[in-house]
């Protein structure tokens, strides 16, 4: 099994080289990279993501062993050590001839799915005698992903002051992407595409379960964060900061932010939400609590093992876990799904 993720710097000297990897080929000025790098330097130049992935890898090894699956677990990143190509090379050297890849992005989008499929294909092409690698399906509505968010949201609501808790609203957040990419994600018909539809499905599932568990329904919205594109390019909105201002103006007394777009508390969570969004809420005088991400929640770890097991067992769609009408998602992406905006590249686990 191959754990595939984004990667992140592990010290101040890593920050600019890491950001250069992330933005390679996009013509981003170095001064802009230095500006973004300051966000990392607030945390000692260390992104939490690598430590979180190491913990997930170790948890997966234990889970697979407990379930009787004798599968080694390797880990490779897109943008920083350990690099994906090095993981593939190690797999080859260890005699692995086939692997399933689990990507730490739950939804259908170019950056969250197809780009990883391209990354895997590129790594395989770099390594003579590389094993075959197939990407596991998108898992946005698997119970092992949704249920930890339900409990985390209930726990976050309980942290709010009692006098504002009843009328607090939920803001479900995810990474903004260009509107054009969102519209072409996942090969769904109609505006919004799969990226928005999948997130709205998860938000609805969590909000419904929270209402059932608490005995009280509350307002919610899907909002976006961490925009990184040029000002003239349309990206998904509203931004979480703008949304907080709108809630305050409407008299909403408190908010719980639920980062359903993220599997762990990496930089977009600890900086964009815990620092920037929280600062906005404090300036507005609005109580703010951020719900936890799944991380190494046992249900999330067991979900990964279940995704492997369903492929090994050859389960049909009706026997695969999914909580929304959109799922379970397909194993092989359709032709034209989440196209690369810079032109086609080879990718694994797709029809093109």
Question: Residue 193 region, left (φ>0) first, then alpha (ψ -120 to 50), else beta?
Answer: left
As a whole number of angstroms, the distance between CA 303 and CA 310 comes to 10
CATH number of 143-290: 3.40.50.1400
- Residues 341/110, Cβ–Cβ less than 8 Å: yes
CB within 8 Å of 48: residues ≥ 6 apart: 8, 264, 265, 266, 267, 270
Query: Alpha helices of the chain — where are they, by DSSP H?
Result: 15-23, 30-41, 49-66, 84-93, 115-126, 143-159, 162-165, 179-183, 193-214, 240-249, 267-270, 278-284, 298-313
State the pLDDT at residue 192.
52
DSSP 274-293: IIIIHHHHHHHT--EEEPPP
Please give the CATH topology (third level) of the domain spanning 2-139+298-319.
Answer: Rossmann fold (3.40.50)
- The C-alpha angle 279, 199, 324, rounded to 5 degrees, equals 140
As a whole number of angstroms, the distance between CA 49 and CA 143 comes to 23
State the pLDDT at residue 295.
98
State the pLDDT at residue 29.
86
C-alpha 311 chain-centroid distance: 22
The residue count for the chain: 352
Q: How far apart are the first and last CA of the chain?
A: 23
Helices 15-23 and 30-41, axial angle in degrees (round to 10)? 130
State the pLDDT at residue 334.
87
- Residues 71/64, Cβ–Cβ less than 8 Å: yes
List the structure tokens of 9.
């710097």
Q: What are phi and psi of 302, to 5 degrees?
A: -65, -30
Measuring CA to CA, how many Å separate 228 from each of 116, 165, 192, 220, 267? Answer: 19, 33, 19, 25, 14
Note the pTM of the prediction, 2 decimals. Answer: 0.96
State the pLDDT at residue 228.
87
CB within 8 Å of 313: residues ≥ 6 apart: none
State the pLDDT at residue 188.
58
Peptide bond into 37 cis (omega under 30): no
* Domain locations along the chain: 2-139+298-319, 143-290
As a whole number of angstroms, the distance between CA 180 and CA 338 comes to 10
Helices 84-93 and 115-126, axial angle in degrees (round to 10)? 50
Identical fold, 2-139+298-319 and 143-290: yes
State the pLDDT at residue 231.
84
List the structure tokens of 232.
């003239």
State the pLDDT at residue 189.
53
- From 129, 84, 240, 244, select the one nearest 176 (Cα to Cα): 240
Q: Which residue has the tokens 């950056």?
A: 111
As a whole number of angstroms, the distance between CA 327 and CA 305 comes to 18
User: Which H helix or E strand runs over 29?
Assistant: none
- Residue 121: other Cβ atoms inside 10 A: 17
As a whole number of angstroms, the distance between CA 196 and CA 176 comes to 10
Local mean pLDDT, 10-residue blocks, the chain (352 residues)? 98 96 87 92 97 98 97 97 98 98 97 97 98 98 98 98 98 96 78 86 98 97 93 95 98 98 96 98 98 98 98 96 95 91 94 88
State the pLDDT at residue 230.
83
């Amino acid at each position: 099994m191959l754990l595939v993720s984004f990667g992140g710097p592990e010290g101040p000297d890593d920050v600019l080289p890491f950001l250069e990897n992330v933005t390679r080929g996009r013509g981003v000025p170095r001064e802009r990279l230095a500006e973004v790098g300051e966000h990392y330097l607030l945390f000692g130049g260390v992104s939490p993501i690598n430590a979180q992935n190491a913990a997930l890898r170790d948890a997966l090894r234990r889970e697979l062993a407990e379930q009787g699956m004798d599968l080694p677990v390797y880990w490779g990143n897109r943008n920083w050590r350990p690099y994906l190509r090095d993981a593939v090379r190690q797999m080859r050297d260890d005699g692995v001839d086939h692997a399933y890849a689990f990507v730490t992005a739950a939804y259908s989008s170019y950056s969250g799915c197809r780009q990883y499929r391209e990354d895997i294909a590129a790594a395989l092409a770099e390594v003579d005698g590389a094993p075959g690698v197939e990407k596991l399906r998108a898992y946005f509505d698997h119970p092992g992903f949704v249920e930890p968010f339900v409990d985390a949201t209930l726990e976050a609501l309980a942290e709010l002051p009692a006098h504002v808790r009843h009328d607090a609203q939920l803001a479900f957040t995810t990474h903004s992407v260009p509107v054009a990419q969102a519209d072409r994600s996942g090969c769904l018909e109609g505006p919004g595409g799969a990226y928005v539809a999948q997130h709205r499905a998860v938000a609805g599932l969590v909000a419904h379960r929270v209402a059932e568990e608490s005995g009280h329904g509350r307002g919610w919205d899907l909002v976006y964060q961490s925009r990184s594109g040029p000002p003239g390019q349309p990206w998904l909105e509203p931004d979480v900061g703008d949304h907080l201002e709108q809630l305050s103006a409407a008299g909403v007394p408190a908010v719980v932010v639920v980062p359903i777009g993220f599997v762990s508390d990496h930089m977009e969570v600890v900086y964009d939400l815990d620092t920037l969004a929280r600062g906005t809420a404090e300036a507005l005088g609005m109580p703010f609590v951020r719900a936890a991400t799944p991380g190494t929640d046992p249900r999330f770890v067991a979900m990964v093992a279940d995704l492997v097991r369903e492929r090994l067992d050859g389960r049909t769609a009706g026997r695969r876990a999914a909580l929304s009408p959109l799922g379970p998602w397909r194993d092989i992406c359709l032709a034209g799904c989440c196209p690369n905006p810079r032109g086609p590249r080879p990718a694994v686990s797709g029809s093109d």
